[in-house]
Amino acid sequence: MRHTHRIVSAPVSPLYVFGRPQDIALQKARNNISLRNHPRVWRAPFTVEGQNVWVGQISRDIGSKLTTQSWSFTTPRISPEVDQDRYYLLQDLPLTGEVHRFGFASGVGVSSPANSRTNLGYDPYVTDGLRVVVFLGARRSPMNQVEFVDWERPPPNGILSDELPVGKHQ
């Protein structure tokens, strides 16, 4: 008799911000257990206008690789297109109705395919350097009423170039 079972969840590794692991770690399955999206959030040690501030991160697993840094000897490989993961979150989160405003703010700076950055697992990634800021609230907002805060704008068509400045693009 052959026993088969489907793994429906897997551990999510802790990441650290503010000197501590995330307050909430989620995973959203895709085709299989090796292909997941991992949003993580931390409650910031400060408030803005009396409101709690939550800092988030999302990564998309695209496979796994061997490592000596884990008890299982494997670790996820993340997608190098981290801005696409940001857009995925920005498309998915407003479906809850809790988002009432969003905007983009400067982050780590541009990294292009010719000059990529790496994460702690040595996976290369590219980014336009911007971070999405999402305002959640008690009032429900249909998607067509979510307000855009025009702080900065991603490059047109997601084009990354070492010569293209990040900021307000026409």
Q: Is residue 87 part of a domain?
A: yes
Given a cut of 90, is residue 70 above it in pLDDT? no
Per-residue pLDDT of 31-58, as tens digits, reads 776 778 888 888 889 888 888 888 888 8
Q: Is residue 34 part of a domain?
A: yes
**Domain total in the chain:** 1
Q: Is residue 160 part of a domain?
A: no
CA 47 from centroid of its chain's CA atoms: 22
Q: Is residue 24 part of a domain?
A: yes
Q: Is residue 43 part of a domain?
A: yes
Question: By residue range, what is the domain housing residue 145?
Answer: 16-153
Q: Is residue 2 part of a domain?
A: no
Which pLDDT does position 128 carry in this prediction? 92
Q: Is residue 163 part of a domain?
A: no
Which pLDDT does position 23 carry in this prediction? 92
Give the integer Cα–Cα distance in Å for 98 and 64: 33
Q: Which of 107, 89, 81 is nearest to 41 (CA)?
A: 89
Residues 6+ apart with CB under 8 A from 63: 34, 35, 76, 77
Q: Is residue 168 part of a domain?
A: no
CB–CB of 116/80 below 8 Å? yes
